[in-house]
Amino acid sequence: MFEMTEDFRRELNEMYSELSTKMTRIAAALTHRIFQVDAGWYNGHEHELPDGTWQIDSFPVPVISVKGFSEIHIEPAEVTVTARLKRDDALALDMSIFGGVPVEAFGVEHYYDTYYRPGGSVDAMREAIRASDEREIGFAFSFPFDKPAEEYYDFCKLLRRKGFYY
């Protein structure tokens, strides 16, 4: 095991304080408007390693559930908004509506199957979706940690208008 030094404790407290504050601000920006939210701390999230394999993380991060529309995962380096579309809606989606926000598209049933990454081909994404047996397609939108909390309200409204759900 490791030693819990005062320096390590201070670093953990600083990091988790920033995560907690970000969760509170985003949840407040959404709650005081038209969305209902729940928030909590969850571990067991996964991230892809450079070699293409996946690793499960044991440490908890804040997650905001925007009831019926999306989930917002707050990690130390970025904030990710995830939502789903029905297969036909994903095939017809105009990716330019996201204004350059980095996005990944993946299978919901087979979530390791990635159909689109930033800089990829939308046509290739559509072909991959057509070739899959997925009924729903997941989308993960990545934002820098310092994005103002209030801007998540507008983004969640955009997702709702375009038929996204969770």
Q: Residues 114-125: what's their mean pLDDT?
A: 95
Q: Which amino acid is at 101?
A: V
Q: Residues 38-45: what's their mean pLDDT?
A: 94
| pLDDT class of 34 with cuts at 50, 70, 90 | confident
pLDDT of residue 2: 79
| pLDDT class of 148 with cuts at 50, 70, 90 | very high
Give the Cα separation of 164 and 137 in Å (integer): 10
Q: Which helix (H) or strand (E) holds 38?
A: strand 37-42
User: Residue 155 pLDDT more than 90?
Assistant: yes
Give the Cα separation of 122 and 7 in Å (integer): 47
Give the Cα separation of 18 and 7 in Å (integer): 17
Query: What percent of the chain is predicted at pLDDT more than 70?
Result: 100
Q: Which of 58, 57, 59 is nearest to 12 (CA)?
A: 59
| pLDDT class of 84 with cuts at 50, 70, 90 | very high
What rounded mean pLDDT belongs to the chain? 94
Work out the widest C-alpha separation in the chain, in whole angstroms: 54
* Total residue count of the chain as it appears in this document: 166
pLDDT of residue 48: 87
Classify burial at 139, counting beta carbons within 10 Å of its beta carbon; exposed 0-12, middle 13-18, buried 19 or more: buried
Hey, what domains does the chain have and what are their CATH numbers?
6-161 (3.30.930.10)
pLDDT of residue 127: 97
User: Residue 132 pLDDT more than 90?
Assistant: yes
pLDDT of residue 110: 93
Look up the pTM and report it. Answer: 0.93
User: Residue 159 pLDDT more than 80?
Assistant: yes
